[in-house]
Amino acid sequence: MTWTDERVAELSKLWDTGYSASAIGKMLGVSKNAVVGKAHRMRLEARPSPIRRDQRARMRRRVPMPIRLSELRPVSAPAAPPPPPAPRLAVRRDGKGPNCLWPHGDPAEAEFHFCGAPAVEGKPYCPEHCARAYITKTRADDKAA
């Protein structure tokens, strides 16, 4: 599509009349964007925005702040800092020795360690971890089956 002198004059006349860019495009057989681009290159007077700023400003309600920001208090108390980690007992990292061998963490990470509490005689775990590791059946469980 080429802009001939006739089309440019028609565009200028229709633009000054107040037609929209899409209406001018339909009359001239071009797209709305072609009309806007040519009008911009011809430095025709810019159109006001179809969105009226005065209406938008009225629609936006401003709520006054009842108190100063410095006087605001948090809704909930700040979270307490986490407790310090329990001191680890001296444990051999190879998993051997008279201490509990219950693993803590991922073996691939540096924080990995064993429980380290004194182990039950003949068992690899402390009493707490033995209770979790060894589930014993009672006579009632045998009879129920």
Q: What is the pLDDT of residues 97-119, one digit of tens each?
A: 678 888 888 888 888 888 888 88
Q: What is the pLDDT of residue 13?
A: 92
Q: What is the pLDDT of residue 68?
A: 65
Please indicate, yes or no, if residue 3 is contained in any of the structural domains.
yes
Q: Which of 12, 28, 63 is the last residue of a domain?
A: 63
Q: Quote the number of domains for the chain.
A: 2
- Is residue 59 located within the same domain as residue 3? yes
Q: What is the pLDDT of residue 33?
A: 92
- Measure the CA angle with vertex 51, ends 46 and 54; round to 5°: 105
CA 135 to CA 84: how far, in whole Å?
32
CATH number at residue 55: 1.10.10
Please indicate, yes or no, if residue 80 is contained in any of the structural domains.
no
- Is residue 94 located within the same domain as residue 59? no
At 51-86, the pLDDT tens digits run 666 655 556 556 665 666 566 666 666 677 777 766
Please indicate, yes or no, if residue 74 is contained in any of the structural domains.
no
* Mean pLDDT on 130-134: 87
Instruction: Give the whole-number percent of the chain exceeding pLDDT 90.
Output: 21
CA 56 to CA 90: how far, in whole Å?
70
Range of the domain at 93: 88-145
Q: Which of 63, 79, 104 is the last residue of a domain?
A: 63
DSSP string across 82-145: PPPPPPPP---TTS-SSB---EES-TTSTT-EE--SBPPTTSSS-HHHHHHH--PPPHHHHHH-
50 pLDDT band, cuts 50/70/90, is low
CA 24 to CA 14: how far, in whole Å?
7
Please indicate, yes or no, if residue 78 is contained in any of the structural domains.
no
Q: Measured in whole angstroms, how far is the alpha carbon of residue 39 from the centre of its chain?
A: 43
* Mean pLDDT on 9-28: 90
